[in-house]
């Protein structure tokens, strides 16, 4: 079971100088058969988990009757994300949804502004490759995404708990830099060039090959 982060965790550092930590939403994909274990009898486990982490935790409806994966929606500040996701990873291991010698690796999705996706990818995929090398997580920005109603696109992160957490924090750092540059550009009445990168047309989904539901091919 991953320990909770210390009080002044580095995970919260990017937001500390702005007062209240920013609320984040992360989609964590778990095996469909594990939903009962996460919810618990009469919903007791998911309620306890929510209180412990200080996060909102909801199980999304199945996308199809035969869906093998289910989406857990976790909403809260960085430290709450760390606690909630850590407990979810731990519960899946504890309930034997992964083998005794098998590392728990889950897929998580975070949404980023479509205009910032190019910064996550980097020129020629440089930034996303550096993220993967640094964190040991697979980071994928799927090509040809249609931005949602909030003009956001998905970044997929696949890996064990600490790898996923580090990748999420690094991506949030990039997004914070983009916001600050855009704000500075507006205040100076000049366009912030780094804050307005479109999705590069030639970059594929950067990462290792994936099978159905985003799972790694063995």
Is there a single domain that holds both residue 58 and residue 119? no
The total domain count for the chain is: 2
- What's the pLDDT at 208? 43
194: tokens are: 């780094």
Q: Please answer whether residues 108 and 164 qualify as being in contact, where contact means their C-beta atoms are separated by less than 8 angstroms.
A: yes
Q: Looking at the structure, do residues 125 and 161 belong to the same domain, yes or no? A: yes
3-state secondary structure of 188: coil
Q: Looking at the structure, do residues 58 and 34 belong to the same domain, yes or no? A: yes
Same domain? 131 vs 170:
yes
Has residue 148 been placed in a domain?
A: yes
Q: Is residue 209 part of a domain?
A: no
**116 and 171 both lie in a single domain:** yes
List own/partner pairs for 48-52 with CB under 8 A and 24 or more apart: 49/84, 49/87, 49/88, 50/84, 52/83, 52/84, 52/87
pLDDT profile of the chain (218 residues), mean per 10: 45 46 94 97 97 98 94 97 98 94 96 94 96 97 92 97 98 94 70 43 44 45
Q: Are residues 119 and 164 in the same domain?
A: yes
Instruction: Flag whether 7 is in a domain.
Output: no
Tell me which residue range forms the domain holding 177. Answer: 109-200
Within-domain flag for 218? no
156 with 92, same domain? Answer: no
- Domain assignment present for residue 124? The answer is yes
SS (H, E, C) 45-60: HHHHHHHHHCCEEEEC
Q: Is residue 174 part of a domain?
A: yes
What pLDDT does 203 receive? 44
Do 28 and 98 lie in one domain? The reply is yes
Q: Taking a C-beta distance cutoff of 8 angstroms, is the pair 205, 142 a contact?
A: yes
Residues 192 and 143 grouped into a single domain:
yes
Same domain, 55 and 75: yes
5 located within any domain: no
Rounded CA-CA distance 6/129 in Å is 29
- The answer to whether residue 127 is domain-embedded is yes
CATH number at residue 94: 3.30.310.210
Please give the helix or strand (H or E) that residue 108 lies within, else none.
strand 106-113
Of the candidates 13, 40, 26, 172, the one whose C-alpha atom is nearest the C-alpha of residue 86 is 26
Residue 35 shares a structural domain with residue 72: yes
80 and 44 in one domain? yes
Distance CA 198, CA 13 (A): 28
């Amino acid at each position: 079971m991953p320990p909770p982060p210390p009080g002044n965790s580095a995970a919260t550092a990017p937001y500390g100088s702005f007062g209240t930590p920013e609320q984040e939403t992360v989609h964590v994909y778990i095996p469909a058969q594990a939903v009962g274990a996460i919810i618990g009898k009469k919903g007791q486990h998911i309620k306890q988990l929510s209180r412990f982490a200080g996060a909102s935790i909801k199980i999304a409806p199945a996308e199809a009757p035969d869906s093998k994966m289910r989406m857990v929606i976790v909403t809260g500040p960085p430290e709450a994300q760390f606690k909630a996701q850590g407990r979810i990873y731990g519960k899946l291991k504890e309930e034997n949804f992964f083998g005794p010698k098998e590392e728990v690796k889950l897929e998580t999705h975070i949404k980023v502004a479509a205009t910032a996706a190019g910064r996550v990818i980097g020129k020629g995929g440089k930034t996303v490759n550096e993220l993967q090398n640094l964190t040991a997580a697979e980071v994928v920005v799927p090509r040809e995404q249609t931005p949602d109603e909030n003009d956001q696109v998905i970044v997929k992160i696949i890996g064990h708990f600490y790898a996923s957490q580090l990748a999420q924090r690094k991506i949030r750092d990039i997004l914070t830099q983009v916001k600050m540059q855009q704000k500075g550009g507006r205040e100076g009445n000049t366009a912030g060039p780094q804050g307005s990168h479109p999705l590069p047309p030639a970059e594929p989904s950067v990462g290792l090959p994936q099978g159905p539901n985003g799972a790694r091919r063995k």
